[in-house]
Structure 1
């Protein structure tokens, strides 16, 4: 859907928008069942793969920092060790800098977010400045107790930019899991050579989603999508983040799902290889967006074809001996689907 939903006021407009949303989500669900293709490449030169569409390739974004916090950007494929459920994989590597991006901004308007909307008055300019030099496509999903307004990668972004900066407060809900699921499905038909990014703006914990944490973990795990999360600064968010990190120490589906329920936004970012930050005003929001943009540029895009055909959740561990000691932020899990059932 490339055009803006109708603007207006009154109950009939809200009903109309909800109806269009229901029809749109139904069509996305049908498309999702029909195909779950991920990205892949083949190449005679391991350092310069050509990205193609297949269900095999697992994409692992990895940001490597030195002990002083500086990004390390000169590593080769041979410098990385990537294991899948404990089994080392043959890995390819690309530089993240300059790769085209498909970005969905997922913006909470309900709950405590209604008091934060003034911080988005220059969000269009912030996004243009941080992503303006890259080849990118942009979409928008707003949500309160459910996904509300959807802009699905319009060819012209003027209307979308207006929507970014002119939102009204929603109800008391914060359906993070439903909104992220919607965003993932928006990204699925985007070109496979584009990196798929979700920028999530809102509170830390889901409140009111109809979908389950296990379902979102599976959907995120089957798609090469990375979540970058910016939360409103609050003591409650800090407590949830600490509990979420403790809950996700185990790699079982139930433990990670519990962590997602406890600290929804941060755990979605962590499992996908993205990052989390907080902001309390417009200046901090802009600073965090610049940091995310720099980190996306400095990431390595690791990829491998799984040697194991075990269906379900897989745990990824990325290491490097070349740059020890180093801190690595990387995708933690993916989901291998049993395609024989379809």
Structure 2
């Protein structure tokens, strides 16, 4: 385990905290930010001295390549506080690995692991009072990298900025969601950047999602771009289907994000002796299961939402309602994950990472 060494980071502390102005019982996701932020610039072919400073607006040239060619990647993480005041991360090294995988696909230099972990731990130690105890409370963490070169030339940037900002959070989705299965629009295609957390992936979803929302659905379950026959992801989440007592999810590929919550749920399914299949899933298979009553659950998984149950889906103009279950896998997995994250249960896989 790497511990933060503040001597390796230039630190300017905020003169006063903003925390006393925040109503932690009424937080809109991603609207409030902690007192400090981390940044490190890539200049002249190398990452420069990392810095932590008060959270603030920054000046960037209008010709910065991120604005024109979309060189931007990000991660989503959370920190949790237990009842003893100890702060924990959940599988942070997986986030570091994934942002570098995303960066490589977008021709952004990979960020050193030591800088990432030291910066993250130091930032959390400075702002640990923003992490509130209690299941459902967390501090959402957004690492990201952008191209900062001042040039409107269609080529990779020479300069980049890596940053980490933090925002207190409660539940992202509350209750169940209704989803529309995509028939026309696609999230990603073979050979593309669907597996990367590239900013443009999310921007491209907004328009078709807004059309779905106008019809009363909160999210879209995306299908493959070639035929729209196979189910892939749901909005910003990976997606799971329960047919009778069997759990099914699509395999990762260059179209589907390798979700950390997804991997955790697959492991928890094994721990609970649940029949788990990772394979391609046809839309027609799920529709038939809904018609014959064998479709018991659909739920999405992701850092922000953790587990988000689906109450209904629509495809080709027909809506299929999913009945409530008293013994749902979604509720079980969510409880088990939250208990691990909040240090309320055993962590036999070593997912919990103490912030020292």
* Same fold per superposition (TM over 0.5): no
More RCO (CA 8 Å, sep 6+): 1
Q: Kindly name which structure, 1 or 2, has the bigger radius of gyration based on alpha carbons.
A: 2
Quick check: which one's helix share is greater?
1
- What TM-score do you get using the length of structure 1 for normalisation? 0.28
